[in-house]
């Protein structure tokens, strides 16, 4: 694998994800589970512990920013890296509320914390690819960007048996056309974006994170959050409670769009 030029590698340790340029189209999906209660499994759901292959949503755009606004569900998606104790605490809060989330893991984090892959799946959550080293993937040349995608995919396959349900570009809200082509080449039919940025990576405090999410989230929203931030752990219960009061249920992204 070729290595990226030094200028492209700058900022590799950044934890937030900035916006890159591209067009995106709203996803149209067939519905989602009702709020509250467990009920029968949703069409996209699997039993706890089962790793999903890449999600295919026929008729949906390649780059998915949000789900069906006519439904009653939202997807909380987490950029996966950071202190495993903090990450585990957050997953526990979601599970106590009956919520299921999508974690887009950084490959180097999985190298350091391989048990987190199983912990995420055993909680009934969804696991995906957020590149190997969390570089600014949209600024990398093609060979280096592809290595970032496939590097994390290889870790996921080794740990779970699949390359993960989704690919999300690192340090970018939207993938460029090049990154979309590379992700599809690596086996991901869709690229996962989001329409609500919680800004929790800036550590503004739990009340601000809660207010940001609840002010912006609507039925069908895909919300960007981060593991490894104590403020996000503290914000999650009131976020879930606020969504519930509005008749919204937190589900995995696959459940939201299929």
pLDDT category of residue 50 using cuts at 50, 70 and 90: confident
Whether 30 has a pLDDT exceeding 80, the answer reads: no
Whether 6 has a pLDDT exceeding 50, the answer reads: no
Whether 38 has a pLDDT exceeding 70, the answer reads: no
Pairwise CA distance, residues 218 & 127, whole Å: 23
Report the pLDDT value the prediction gives residue 59, as an integer from 0 to 100. 78
Which residues touch 214 (CB under 8 Å, ≥6 apart)? Answer: 239, 242, 243
Pairwise CA distance, residues 27 & 164, whole Å: 20
Type and span of the H or E element at 129? strand 126-129
CB 239 within 8 A of CB 210: yes
pLDDT in tens, 76-114: 999 999 999 999 999 999 999 999 999 999 999 999 999
Report the pLDDT value the prediction gives residue 47, as an integer from 0 to 100. 54
pLDDT in tens, 62-78: 999 999 999 999 999 99
Classify domain 63-257 by CATH architecture: Alpha-Beta Barrel (3.20)
pLDDT category of residue 217 using cuts at 50, 70 and 90: very high
Type and span of the H or E element at 197? strand 196-197
Average pLDDT over residues 141-149: 98
Residue 124's φ and ψ, nearest 5 degrees, are 85, 10
Report the pLDDT value the prediction gives residue 104, as an integer from 0 to 100. 98
Report the pLDDT value the prediction gives residue 16, as an integer from 0 to 100. 52
Type and span of the H or E element at 73? strand 73-80
pLDDT category of residue 48 using cuts at 50, 70 and 90: low
Burial 178-190 (b: 16+ CB within 10 A, else e): bbbebbeebbbbb
Average pLDDT over residues 12-18: 45
Which residues touch 253 (CB under 8 Å, ≥6 apart)? Answer: 55, 64, 67, 75, 77, 102, 126, 165, 166, 192, 222
Which residues touch 14 (CB under 8 Å, ≥6 apart)? Answer: 134, 171
More confident residue, 23 or 204: 204
Report the pLDDT value the prediction gives residue 257, as an integer from 0 to 100. 96
pLDDT category of residue 214 using cuts at 50, 70 and 90: very high
Residue 255 CA to chain centroid, in angstroms?
13
Of 187, 133, 146, 180, nearest to 164 by C-alpha is: 187
| β-strands 63-64, 191-192 pairing | parallel
Note the pTM of the prediction, 2 decimals.
0.84
């Amino acid at each position: 694998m070729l290595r990226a030029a030094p200028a492209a590698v700058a900022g590799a340790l950044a934890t937030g994800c900035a916006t890159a340029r591209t067009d995106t189209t709203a996803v149209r999906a067939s519905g989602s589970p009702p709020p509250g209660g467990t009920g029968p499994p949703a069409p996209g759901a699997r039993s706890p512990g089962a790793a999903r292959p890449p999600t295919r949503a026929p008729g949906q755009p390649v780059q998915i920013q949000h789900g069906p606004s006519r439904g009653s569900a939202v997807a909380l998606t987490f950029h996966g890296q950071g202190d495993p104790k903090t990450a585990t605490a957050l997953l526990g809060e979601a599970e106590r509320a009956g919520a299921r989330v999508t974690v887009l893991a950084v490959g180097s984090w999985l190298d350091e914390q391989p048990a987190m892959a199983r912990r995420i799946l055993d909680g009934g959550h969804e696991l995906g690819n957020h590149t190997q080293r969390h570089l600014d993937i949209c600024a990398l040349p093609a060979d280096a960007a592809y290595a970032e995608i496939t590097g994390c995919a290889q870790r996921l396959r080794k740990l779970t048996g699949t390359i993960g349900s989704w690919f999300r570009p690192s340090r970018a809200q939207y993938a460029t056309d090049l990154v979309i082509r590379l992700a599809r080449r690596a086996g991901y039919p869709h690229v996962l974006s989001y329409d609500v940025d919680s800004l929790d990576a800036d550590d503004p405090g739990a009340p601000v994170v809660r207010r940001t999410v609840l002010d912006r989230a609507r039925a069908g929203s895909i919300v960007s959050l981060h593991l490894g931030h104590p403020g996000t752990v503290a914000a999650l219960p009131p976020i879930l409670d606020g969504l519930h009061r509005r008749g919204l249920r937190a589900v995995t992204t696959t459940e939201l769009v299929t």
